[in-house]
């Protein structure tokens, strides 16, 4: 691979990650605002919790794995 091209691809990937991060943050912030707004709607809360359960589990597993990796490297 051409060094300049590799740098350009890395820069593009970094930009794409930042764009996705901003999008995910906006989506999760909106979801939490909706959750708060609908906290008295038991049907909504149950549905929301069901949708979020695998996401929360995956995030917790990632955090656990990252923490284990950090502890092993120190």
pLDDT digits (tens, 9 = 90+) for 8-52: 777 789 999 999 999 999 999 999 999 999 999 999 999 999 999
* Phi, psi dihedral angles at 39 (to 5 degrees): -60, -20
Q: pTM to 2 decimals?
A: 0.69
Q: Mean pLDDT throughout 2-7? A: 66
Q: Mean pLDDT throughout 46-70? A: 95
The whole-number pLDDT of residue 72 equals 79
Confidence of residue 5 (pLDDT cuts 50, 70, 90): confident
pLDDT surpasses 80 at 2: no
- In the chain, at which residue ranges do the beta strands (DSSP E only) sit? none
CA distances from 71 to 21, 30, 67 (A): 26, 34, 6
Q: Evaluate the CA torsion angle 55, 67, 25, 13 in order and state its sign.
A: negative
């Amino acid at each position: 691979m051409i060094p300049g091209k590799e740098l350009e691809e890395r820069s593009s990937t970094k930009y794409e990650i930042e764009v996705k991060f901003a999008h995910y943050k906006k989506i999760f912030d909106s979801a939490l605002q909706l959750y708060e707004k609908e906290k008295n709607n038991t049907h909504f809360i149950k549905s929301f919790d069901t949708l979020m359960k695998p996401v929360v589990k995956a995030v917790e597993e990632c955090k656990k794995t990252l923490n284990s990796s950090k502890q092993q490297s120190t």
